[in-house]
Every structure is written in structure tokens, then in C-alpha cells.
Amino acid sequence: MTDFEKRILCIGAGYVGGPTMAMIAFKCPQYKVHVVDINPDRIDAWNSQNLPIYEPGLEEVVFEARGRNLFFSTDIQEGIEEADIIFVSVNTPTKTFGEGAGMAADLQYWEKTARQILECSKSPKIIVEKSTVPVRTAQAMERILGTDGTGKFQVLSNPEFLAEGTAIEDLKCPDRVLIGSRLTEEGLKARDELVSIYANWVPKDNIVTSDTWSSELSKLVANAFLAQRISSINAISALCEKTGADVSRVAYAVGKDGRIGDKFLKSSVGFGGSCFKKDILNLVYLCRSYGLQEVADYWEQVVKINEYQKERFVLNMLHTMFDTLAGKKICLLGFAFKADTGDTRETPGIYIAQRLAEEHCRVVVSDPQALDNAKIDLKELGDAVSYVEDPYEAAADCDALAVLTEWNLYKELDYAKIYNSMTKPAFVFDGRNILDHQALHDIGFNVFPIGKPALTHYRTNGRTR
């Protein structure tokens, strides 16, 4: 143990704690990195050949560092005792009960961690907020730890910006690493210590430092801005469908303006994932709690448009397929909230499957990584849903395909073969605009992209080309 230059602990071995710590250990063999969690199954999986999350490139990084300077265990007490720096990366979901239910962040896991740190610490430590938290949470942490920034503990904010599916690339070459601290002598010293860890592989210019509250707020704002772009283009997709404009062309033309930029302008069935909705609602709640009603309403609209987009997708299927889905069978191509992950938290697929089942439609869910999660998410729908990994088998006898996740494999399927196995007339609802719509139409499908003219073999209400 004494051979290591620094001893780093991370509390919470989830989508963030696991990959971020694996990257620190991988890049910095001189540090001991210990990741702990209360969930023993998760820890067992991190210690196995079958890691608990799917993330391209993750195995390579974990397998290289694990056992060398990267360790996973449930021994939280020992971990705290020996650590110099403690990252807190526990979940901060939306509260489901009491004051702020459905909006505010649930800080109970985070608070428990703070108390545990206090109980088990025998030496001074730097505590790093990795979890996404409301502004001024670091102050609450300081109060629990009985410090005002001058004592045994220094609390830093170091929000994580990785996106799932690209976590390893994002961690290897981050746009920025953000570190917020108190601007006191002790605060700046702690900040420099954390900077020196990242500086092992992140260029100095990409390590941004600020005061603690700005750092905490920046994380919520970054997610709100990203989600806002998606809701903006999705709102325009509805107008495109009414007017015959093509949302991809609009996004391209608009995004060519350097001031706007071309990223995060892909119209879709709606954004999902564990962060966007939760963090925006957290921001909305914060604004309301400070009496900023107009600001809160403004950001809440980003979430509302996302709900609207998912419902629009369902209603489009219903109305297109002759205003009844009862007894029909629809194949969902993809269930993960985005490609290259098995994560289904807040995936639009959950809402869409539930709505289809409400219409007495049978649903076949297909996904290369997310079927285990889908079975848990849709358990209450019982026999209305079946789960089939092979897309050809999944599509057989269906009336429609609905593309919900932009997996590359869906671009390369033999759609003529699929068409021949489906009930006619056969429909495609491309919730990601990833397929070759003209080719599908030529095969015989009636094709309904998002925000583009439909390609049908019959007349529609203004959506034909």
C-alpha cells in the first residue's frame, strides 16, 4: 500500500464510478484506486470477466489495471480509512416521495456516504463530488463533515461529462475536466492536488477550474443545453411533417452556422438516459425554490417537448395504421436509450411499449444489448411483450417496425427478407432516421421517418412526397 503515491477511493461503482476510476488507474499506475459499493453483485461483476456495464473499450482498460492498482470491493470502511482522496459517485435520482417528488434530486445515498466518511475517517481527506448534485450541495457535505472548508476535509466539485456508449473515449480525451473548489488557500491546494491527477493524461488547457457553486451548476446547465438542442430540433420535426420540409436538411443548414454548430441536432423519437430529464427537473426545482418561476418554466418546456415527441411517435403509428393497433404486432428495433449501451434508464422504448400495449398491440422488443433490462422495465406488461434478439425473427409476422435505437446493425439488415416475412401492408417508423428510406419504399414498405415526408404506396394527409 505504501508503494503507491496516492490512495484514491471511489464510493459508487456504477456507470460513472467504474469507468472513471478504471481510467485513472489505467493512466496512473502510481496511484492505488479502490472502488467500493454497497451492492455486492455489482462488485462481483466488476471483479469478473463479465463486467456489469457494456461500454466499448471498457474491458481493455479494466483488465489492464485490475489487480495492479485498481481494486473493487464492498469494504467501504477500510476504503475510507486508507484513502487520501475520496470520490463520491453514488446515484442521485429524482425524488419519488415527499417534498419535491418527481422534480428534486434524491440526496439520501449521497448523504449516507457523507456520514460514513465522517465516521470512518482518521486522517485529513479531499472529498470529490463526482455525482451530479444541486448547487451548494458541497456546502451541505461540508456541514455534515463538520468543516467550513478550513478543517480536516476539503470538498471539491468535479462533475462528470462522459456520455454512455462513448465513456472510454470521453474519459481518455475529455473536452474539459471541471474542478470547483473554495477559493481559500486550503481549497486551492486541494484543487491543485486533483488537477495533478488529471494532468497525467489531460492537457492543462482542458482542465478548467472554478469556484464550487459554478462548477456544480455548470453540470446541470451543460445537460440542460444539450437536451434543449434535441427538444428544439424535435419541435421543428413536427413542423417539418406538416409542411413537407426535411428536418435533416434543416438541421444541416442551421448547424453549418459556426455560432450554432452541428452537434446534438439529430431529430429522434426523444432523448432518454438517466441524466437529461433528471438533471433538468433538478434545475427546474432549484429555480422554483429560489422563486424564479419564469426561468423554471422555460427549462421545463425542454422536458415537455420530449414527452410530446414520444407521444407524437405513438399517435403517428396509431393514425397511420388505420386508427387501430388492437391485435396488431409491432417490432421495436432497439430498446437501449442510445446505441452502444445496454442501459435502458428513461429510454423512450419504455413509454412507447407501454402506450402500444394500452392500445392492445403486441410488442416484440429486439436489441443486441438491452434485452435483460427491457424484461425488467416491461415486466408489468406481461404477455403483451416478447423479447427476441435476432431482428429477423423479431420482425416476422409483424405489421410494423419501429426503430428506437440507432444501432449500426439495423442499417445493414436484409430488409427485403424482412418485408417478405411481415404482415402487409408493412410499415416502418424510423424514430432515428438511420435507414435508407427510398430503398425501403422500393421494397414495398410504407415509410414514416421523423420530420421528413412519408414514402407510402397510398395517399396520406400531405405527408407523401
Ligand X SMILES: O=c1ccn([C@@H]2O[C@H](COP(=O)(O)OP(=O)(O)O[C@H]3O[C@H](CO)[C@@H](O)[C@H](O)[C@H]3O)[C@@H](O)[C@H]2O)c(=O)[nH]1
- Catalytic positions, please? 275
Closest to ligand X by CB, 90 or 190: 90
CB of 341 to ligand NAD, least distance (A): 9
- Residue 241 binds which entry of ligand X, ligand NAD, none, CB below 5-8 Å type-dependent: none
Closest to ligand NAD by CB, 163 or 235: 163
- Residue 112 binds which entry of ligand X, ligand NAD, none, CB below 5-8 Å type-dependent: ligand NAD
Residue 66 is labelled as binding a ligand = no
- Residue 268 binds which entry of ligand NAD, ligand X, none, CB below 5-8 Å type-dependent: ligand X
Q: Candidates 55, 106, 142, 160: give the one binding ligand X (CB under 6 A).
A: 160
CB of 44 to ligand NAD, least distance (A): 12
**3-class SS string, the chain:** CCCCCEEEEEECCCCCHHHHHHHHHHHCCCEEEEEECCCHHHHHHHCCCCCCCCCCCHHHHHHHHECCCEEEECCHHHHHHHCCEEEECCCCCECCCCCCCCCCECCHHHHHHHHHHHHHCCCCEEEEECCCCCCCHHHHHHHHCCCCCCCCEEEEECCCCCCCCCHHHHHHCCCCEEEEECCCHHHHHHHHHHHHHHCCCCCHHHEEEEEHHHHHHHHHHHHHHHHHHHHHHHHHHHHHHHHCCCHHHHHHHHHCCCCCCCCCCCCCCCCCCCCHHHHHHHHHHHHHHCCCHHHHHHHHHHHHHHHHHHHHHHHHHHHHCCCCCCCCEEEEECCCCCCCCCCCCCCHHHHHHHHHHHCCCEEEEECCCCHHHHHHHCHHHHHHEEECCCHHHHHCCCCEEEECCCCHHHHHCCHHHHHHHCCCCCEEEECCCCCCHHHHHHHCCEEEECCCCEECCCCCCCCEC
Residue 94 is labelled as binding a ligand = yes
- Residue 45 binds which entry of ligand X, ligand NAD, none, CB below 5-8 Å type-dependent: none
- Residue 109 binds which entry of ligand X, ligand NAD, none, CB below 5-8 Å type-dependent: ligand NAD
Closest to ligand NAD by CB, 37 or 241: 37
Q: Candidates 174, 273, 342, 449: give the one binding ligand X (CB under 6 A).
A: 273
For ligand NAD, which residue has the nearest CB? 14
Annotated binding site: 12-17, 37, 42, 90-94, 131-132, 160-164, 219-223, 259, 266-272, 275-278, 337-338, 345, 432
Annotated binding site for NAD(+): 12-17, 37, 42, 90-94, 131-132, 164, 275-278, 345
Residues in contact with ligand X by CB under 6 A are 132, 160-164, 223, 226, 230, 264-266, 268, 271-273, 275-276, 337-338
